[in-house]
Amino acid sequence: MSHPRRLLLLGTVLLLQACTSPPGSEVGYTLTSVSRNLRVDHWRMDHQRSGLGSSPWSVTKKTLHGGRQEGVDLIEVDNGVLRFTVIPTRGMSIGQVVGGDVRLGWDSPVREVVHPRHVDLQDHGGLGWLTGFNEWLTRCGVSFAGHPGEDNERLLTLHGRIGNIPASEVEVVIDATPPHRIRVRGRVDEQMFKFADFELWTEVSTVPGSDTLRVVDRLVNRSSYKREYQIIYHTNFGPPLLEAGARFVAPVAKVAPFDDYAAKDLDSWRTYLGPTRDYGEQVYCITPHSDRSGHTLVMLRNAAADRGVAVRYRTDSLSGFTLWKNTDTEEEGYVTGLEPGTGFPYNRSVERAAGRVPTLAPGADVTFAVDYRVLRDASAVKATRMEIEKIQGNRASQVSRTAPRN
């Protein structure tokens, strides 16, 4: 007689195979579905089992156990060059990316992948978001983002709720035709009676054998009313890219300090110190130039200029860029943040007064797309720098000594 667990696993495999898209388009596997009351704890697919492509790749789903990470879902993608982890339980955040000897990520004092049930967003006067903060990429938003504080007599907590909302629908999709792009898709719902009804459709994808990954998100307002929204793509970097002498490179139209503390080091805002005890956060608000297609390109590279990361995105949907420098000790979190967003990380009340809070009409949607490339040698860093310089061209950079609060 077959073991009950084996029958269950066989049934799960058949269910996933039944979710295959029409031939010639995509092959899809559903891992989580609220509408179907489905959650697959463990699963794996690769180029051999699927018969898609000759380049090695794999996608693995697992569930974490113990401590504050009990019940957290992870989806690990290996495209043969890059390895990265998507966290459906934490709003489809990305844990870290590894490409050869280059890691995109950082070492937070928060060492577990914390389940949102253990995060009290209102703790420490609205700073509770930090008790789960350790990802490479986490989305801030979507009803609000930025610093905590009151807006219309209501407390808005740090960086919003979306990063601590588990995904309601999750699937892995592989393109049936070359180059067989691997897509991890999820739907994260931010809903609150009388205040919000947003659907955030997320997709993190990569091509086997490539050194890039792409994030494409579609935000839909399901409310009957026009709603404000904010989003910040908070990507965080520590060693080996962050070190003494590392440099941020971008085609800058405008740059301004977030506050007086950042203003004192404005002349060196592009460069980094090594781990520095008692270093306070320094934040710079940047408006980048874009090319004729509406895209901009920024880069963080190490001191030797032979390793780095490039970030490319459209400035019509993500008009602001925040550079967060937190070069504290390694134990406290030696990290910098490269953060494309709809604005800057002030409280929503400040952003609204400055005209930087967009709105969505009932039923309307907006799409955000950000491409990340791991730069694994000096030639890739040089080529990226030259492309950035081409975007900058002869256009000047306006440097402001005062914060863009209005």
Tell me if 171 is assigned to some domain: yes
How many domains would you assign to the chain? Answer: 1
405 is a domain residue: no
Identify the pLDDT of residue 20: 38
Res. 405 pLDDT band, cuts 50 70 90: confident
Q: Quote the mean pLDDT of the chain.
A: 93
User: Would you state the pLDDT for residue 156?
Assistant: 98
Q: pLDDT at residue 64 above 90?
A: yes
Q: Say if residue 6's pLDDT is above 80.
A: no
| Across 67-93, average pLDDT | 98
Specify if 12 maps to a domain. no
Does 11 fall in a domain?
no
Which CATH number does the domain housing residue 87 bear? 2.70.98.10
Question: Which structural domain range is residue 233 located in?
Answer: 20-399
Using the predicted structure, report yes or no on whether residue 14 has a pLDDT greater than 90.
Answer: no
**Lowest-pLDDT range of 2-6, 200-204, 349-353:** 2-6
Peptide bond into 179 cis (omega under 30): yes
For residue 320, the model assigns a pLDDT of 97
Nearest Cα residue to 32 out of 52, 12, 51: 12
Predicted local confidence at residue 406, as pLDDT: 65
In single-letter form, the type of residue at position 11 comes to G
The CA distances from residue 333 to 135, 235, 238, in Å, are 12, 14, 8
Record the tokens describing residue 165, joined without a space. Answer: 């909302």
pLDDT of residue 2: 35
Minimal CA–CA distance to 336: which of 264, 397, 276, 263?
A: 276
**How crowded is residue 401: how many other Cβ atoms within 10 Å of its Cβ?**
9
What pTM was computed for the model? 0.93
| pLDDT for residue 25 | 87
**CB–CB of 169/88 below 8 Å?**
no
Q: Which helix (H) or strand (E) holds 7?
A: helix 4-18
pLDDT at residue number 254: 97
Residue 10 within any structural domain of the chain: no
Confidence at 200, pLDDT banded by 50, 70, 90: very high
Asked, for residue 156, whether it belongs to a domain, the answer is: yes
**Per-residue pLDDT reduced to its tens digit, 329-384:** 999 999 999 999 999 999 999 999 999 999 999 999 999 999 999 999 999 999 99
% of the chain exceeding 90 in pLDDT = 92
Q: Are 55 and 78 a contacting pair, CB within 8 Å? A: no
Judge whether 2 lies within some domain: no
Task: Tell me, yes or no, whether 248 lies in a domain.
Answer: yes
pLDDT higher than 70, residue 215: yes
| pLDDT, position 11 | 36
List C-alpha distances in Å: 154 to 59, 119, 225, 266. Answer: 42, 20, 19, 33
